[in-house]
Structure 1
Amino acid sequence: MRRDQFLKSAAAFAALGATGALPLSAQAAAALKILVPANPGGGWDITGRALGKALQDAGAAGAVTFENKGGAAGAIGLAQFVNAAKGDPNAMMVMGAVMLGGLITSKQPVTLTQATPIARLTSEYNVFVLPANSPFKTMKDVVEALKKDPGSVKWGGGSRGATEHIAAAMLAREVGVDATKVNYVAFRGGGEAVAAILGGNVSIGGSGYSEFQPYIESGKMRPIAITAPQRIKGLDIPTMKELGYNVEIGNWRGVYGAPGITPQQRQALIDMVVKATKSKAWTEALEKNGWTPAVLTGKAFEDFVDGEFASLRAIMHKSGMV
């Protein structure tokens, strides 16, 4: 080893001994690992890979690797992350509102409190779509069929407890249908849900716009409603409220770090993620996927998640889901 290389390495190790974590400049050379607790092709997968690209684009990470582990609204991936990544300062897991809903409905033994909150990244609302050849043309058509025979309408989306599942239950309750009779078909990932919608295996599908965008633009899917409080700029999709249904629910996504990392290591990850969200690659991802930037970090993010758990639990209880 040349003398100048040795001195740089010694300085880095000295910093590690003093703080318990490598400084951001040193961590940039490390390989980050991002666990996506869902199958490929869905919102979490798109988010994780967009973040990885942004981390590299911003110079916050030298390399990023990904692993997909779907099932149980992210709980299977969460369990793996909690058990396998303990103490790893270079590991992160994508998560979001869907995971909270899934943990509430499934009562999994693993909890988010075992991992380390890093940052909320984006927010978006659920879009409901029909396959192009659907006999339904509008949300009103879907509601009429729901009223006549709740089981005849198959709702396709993410795992049980996903925001699109909650929205369907909210709509049923809103129009006088027993929410427990909603025929919801859960899928392990966005790719599976998309295939089911395109194949006509479900009547109507719900998810974030980013998952459906290419199929909407190609005419293979027809968007009929969005769960936003008002129309989203650039999207010609009526809101549920605009259509006369008091259904509004948002989706958001973020990242957690491994259990057992130090406060300094947590802050290093926060700094890296914030740096990534200021990159050109991230700005392009926001525009491409129709995401609203919603960066929230550290303790503020932790408190937000606690509040979301309470809010979702109340909505789901009211809708007969728990």
Structure 2
Amino acid sequence: MTDVRGTAGQRSRGGPYSPGRGPAVRHRVAALVCVPLLALAAGGCAKDGDDAGSDAAAVKYPTTTLELMAPAAPGGGWDSTARSLQKALTDSKLVTESVEVYNVPGAGGTLGLSQLVTKNKGDAHQLMVTGLVMIGGVVTNKSPVKLSQVTPIATLTAEQEVIVVPAASKYTTLQQLMDDAKANPTSINWGGGSAGGTDQILIGLLAKAAGADPKAMKYIAYSGGGESKAALLSGDLTAAVSGASEYSDLVASGKLRALAVSGSAGIDVGAGKPTPTIKESGYDVELMNWRGVVAPPGIKAGERAAIIKLIDDLHSSAQWKQTLTDQKWEDFYRSGDEAKAYFESENDRITTVLSEIGLAG
């Protein structure tokens, strides 16, 4: 489901789950040292006037504590991603400085986004985990701060969504479900995570592909997976959408039936065999709940290059590969300009969908 929210200020330092200091934000002016062996482009050390888009040499990085913000409460997807980054960076010895995680929850991640863009502007030692859910948070919360204002570094992981129905449901295929959703939208009670999140976005995309009115879909938002599971089992919901791992236990037990997954290839979500994709079911829809990492605006070109190199090296490390295996995350890596282009295309696509289902504008 979507990232849970809670009390701001939990911070861990030096290890994945160790408690630490409060949420105070410190602006640092780090001494930047030009290191020829790290140079990614000609031109020597970055000057004060350089921006993140110009050619410049990489700098030594990090030179002080590296802080990773999870813009959600402890326990959610962004939090687990930040803490996994912390552990992998430390265990791989790619950094000798300490790595600290702190939480800034609220408003679909937009409170954390606002802090990164304003208070942390120009501070290359402040990074934030983000993802598709934040695009919806910006739109539905009418945030004055946009994801386009950050410095994209990389996409990291992704998870497929799954569409499920109760085992006793008359629907055995996605096409049967969508035929009824198109003919009589109010006959289908959909459930999922928070309004404007990945789950509702997928339903909107699916309705559009099926020729149904996205705004007519009846969607009930739940704050956690337990609530939607109970609603499915009690018959209050016709169908529900969540991350593929969310309902795998109930699919495996025979209490739910998985109709389709949202990625490019079918995966086993508990049925003992791959569940077909939405595309294989006849609808041109593909959606991954991706997560990535960004830096504040206003950092220098050499700093941007050094951060990208650090995350590239992390992605290649044995420690990160083990993290993907342990967390059952799909590798969804792209960095630098490729990540920037992906952020922009996803922002345009998801904002359009949210407008079509009546959550934007």
Q: TM-score, normalised by structure 1?
A: 0.76
**For the aligned residues, what is the CA RMSD?**
3.6
**Residue aligning to 2:350:** 312
Q: What residue is the counterpart of 1:8 in the other structure?
A: none
Deviations 1:214-238 (CA, angstroms, capped at 9, x unpaired)? 6666777653321123324796212
Which whole-Å CA distance do the structure 2 matches of 1:23 and 1:186 have between them? 46
Amino acid at match of 2:81: T
* Count of aligned positions: 304
Which of the residues 291, 309, 314 maps onto 1:253?
291
Q: Which residue of 2 aligns with 1:43?
A: 77
Is 1:200–2:238 an aligned residue pair? no
Q: CA deviation at 1:256?
A: 0.6
User: For residue 319 of structure 2, what is the aligned residue in structure 1?
Assistant: 281
Equivalent residue for 1:23? Answer: 60
**2:309 aligned partner, one-letter code:** D
Alignment-derived partner of residue 136 in structure 2: 101
Task: Map 1:48-197; keep pairs closer than 5 Å.
Answer: 48-61=82-95, 62-130=97-165, 139=174, 142-143=177-178, 146=181, 150-151=185-186, 153-186=188-221, 192-197=223-228
**Worse overlay, 134-143 or 299-308:** 134-143
3-state SS of the aligned residue for 1:281? helix
Paired residue type of 1:59: K
Partner amino acid, structure 2, of 1:15? V
Q: Is the 8 A contact 1:102 1:159 kept in 2?
A: no
SS in 2 for 1:252: strand
CA drift of 1:92 comes to: 1.1
Residue type of the partner of 1:300?
E
Q: Aligned partners of 2:170, 2:134: CA distance in 1, in Å?
A: 33
User: Following the alignment from structure 2 to structure 1, what is the Cα–Cα distance between the partners of residues 354 and 299?
Assistant: 33
One-letter amino acid of the counterpart of residue 44, structure 1: W
- Note if contact 2:215-2:356 (Cα within 8 Å) is conserved in structure 1: no
Ranges in structure 2 where 5+ consecutive residues have no aligned partner: 1-29, 36-44, 49-57
Q: CA deviation at 1:146?
A: 4.2
CA-CA distance at 1:314 after TM superposition? 4.0
Question: Which fold has the larger relative contact order, with Cα–Cα distance below 8 Å and residues 6 or more apart in sequence?
Answer: 1
CA deviation profile, 1:267-322 (whole Å, cap 9, x unmatched): 22222212221222321232344433232222232222222222334444555654
Identity of aligned residues (%): 36
**Correspondent of 2:274 among 236, 248, 265:** 236
- Structure with bigger helix share is 1
Give the partner amino acid of 1:284: Q
Which residue number in structure 2 is paired with residue 4 of structure 1?
none
Contact between 1:126 and 1:251, CA under 8 Å: does it hold in 2?
Answer: yes
Task: Write the distance in 1 (CA, Å) between the matches of 2:111 and 2:214.
Answer: 27
- CA drift of 1:254 comes to 1.0
TM-score (norm 2): 0.69
Amino acid at match of 1:195: G
